[in-house]
Amino acid sequence: MRLVVDSNVLFTFFWKNSVLRKILNKSTELFAPEYALEEINKHSSELIKKVSCSKSEFKKLKMDLALKVKFIPLEEYSSAFPRVLSIADRLSKKEYIEFVEDIDFFALALKIRCPIWSNDKLFKKQSKVLIFNTREIIELFDTL
């Protein structure tokens, strides 16, 4: 199964028994915008504290993640931004602002035609892209 994974799901890779790590052992192909790597770097200190690892261990884990998830450059999916914005038109102003913050994930999902794995409830308020939350992923892959 092919999935676009959002940043919060990617953050869980750093936990030893995360669903993401288990899914990576299944027949999956995972994608994320390159922007998600910037998010991981931005929150690296917080992640290092939460998982109680050294900077070098974190760096190794991040390299492992980058080998298992295909991080796609902006220029490969930016053409889908207008379609994403048309999806967001139906949302309230507050929801629209929040939705647009995640435009990269939706544009990538539209471009490569696959669902998104996210626990963001706002993502489910649209019908153009199939969204799976972690509970649904667990059920889908019967991983636990």
CATH of the domain at 130: 3.40.50.1010
Q: Which domain holds residue 117?
A: 2-141
At 141 the pLDDT is 86
Query: How many structural domains is the chain composed of?
Result: 1
Instruction: Give the residues of the chain that fall short of pLDDT 70.
Output: 143-144
As a dihedral over the C-alpha atoms of residue 117, residue 90, residue 39, residue 29, rounded to 10 degrees, the angle is 30
At 89 the pLDDT is 82
d(CA 129, CA 127): 6
Model confidence pLDDT, tens digit, residues 111-141: 999 999 999 999 998 889 999 999 999 999 8
Model pTM? 0.91
At 144 the pLDDT is 44
